[in-house]
Homo-oligomer: A and B are copies of this chain.
Amino acid sequence: MAGDMMLYWGSGSPPCWKVQIALEEKNLQGYHHKLLSFDKGEHKCEEVMKLNPRGQLPTFKHGDVVVNESMAACMYLENRFKSQGTQLIPDDVKEQALVLQRAFETSTLQQKMYEVLFYEYYVPEPERHESALKRNRENLKTELQLWEGYLQQMGKGSFLAGKNFSMADVFFFPAFAYIPRFGLSKERYPKLTEYYEMVKERPSIKASWPPHWLEKATEGDTLKDL
């Protein structure tokens, strides 16, 4: 079933990682894949551009269906293999609403994370401002406090949107995992820390852990004061 799937991906890219987790959770191991290097510009290679005019990763193909946007690919996999593996979007109306709400809210976390950790990557040197970076850090702090509060409300051992692992976790974890990597304070964010420690041991997460993160476990503690 997974033999007619092809994923082009980059190590550590949150959008790629989302799709990889969804594939694992839906028991679609055995899909073809190709690891490309952003640094070498391989995401702009002809093979990718033919399927994805944006030249972005992930680029994902299933038979003759191409779905490149990571959230679209995850939703597609859930709908297409609904009864296979983990059900990522629950049937119950109220549970589903919370899963969708948290899942789409992760875009904001991801953006705020990028604006701090990849500020120098996205903003050319002459356009950088200390004031902007300071504001971005404050925004990320507010964002993390919000998610800490959400987990606090859910109670001990809960996933993001309930007792079960869901699409909310698929979308959240790959963006969030950057934060402990750069030194999240366990004291100020006990629930997020607990959540991180629990989810990182999940088989789908371990199987899809970014290869270059295995070589280097942390990247410092620039976020420890947040």
Contacts and interface: CB of A to CB of B under 8 A. Distances in A.
Interface stretch (A19-27, A61-69, A176-184): A61-69
Contacts of A30: none
Contact of A75 (B54, B100, B108, B132): B100
Nearest to A111: B111
Contacts of A75: 100
A1 interface: no
A36 to B, nearest CB: 20
Interface stretch (A5-13, A90-98, A185-193, A207-215): A90-98
Interface stretch (A38-46, A121-129, A198-206, A218-226): A121-129
Contact of A96 (B79, B103, B129, B131): B79
A18 to B, nearest CB: 11
A2 interface: no
A164 interface: no
A108 B132 CA distance: 22
Interface of A is mostly: helix
Contact of A65 (B54, B80, B93, B124): B93
Contacts of A80: 93
Categorize the interface residue count of chain A: 35 or more
A62 B79 CA distance: 24
A72 B107 CA distance: 12
Contacts of A126: 129, 131
A148 to B, nearest CB: 12
A48 to B, nearest CB: 15
B69 A101 contact: yes
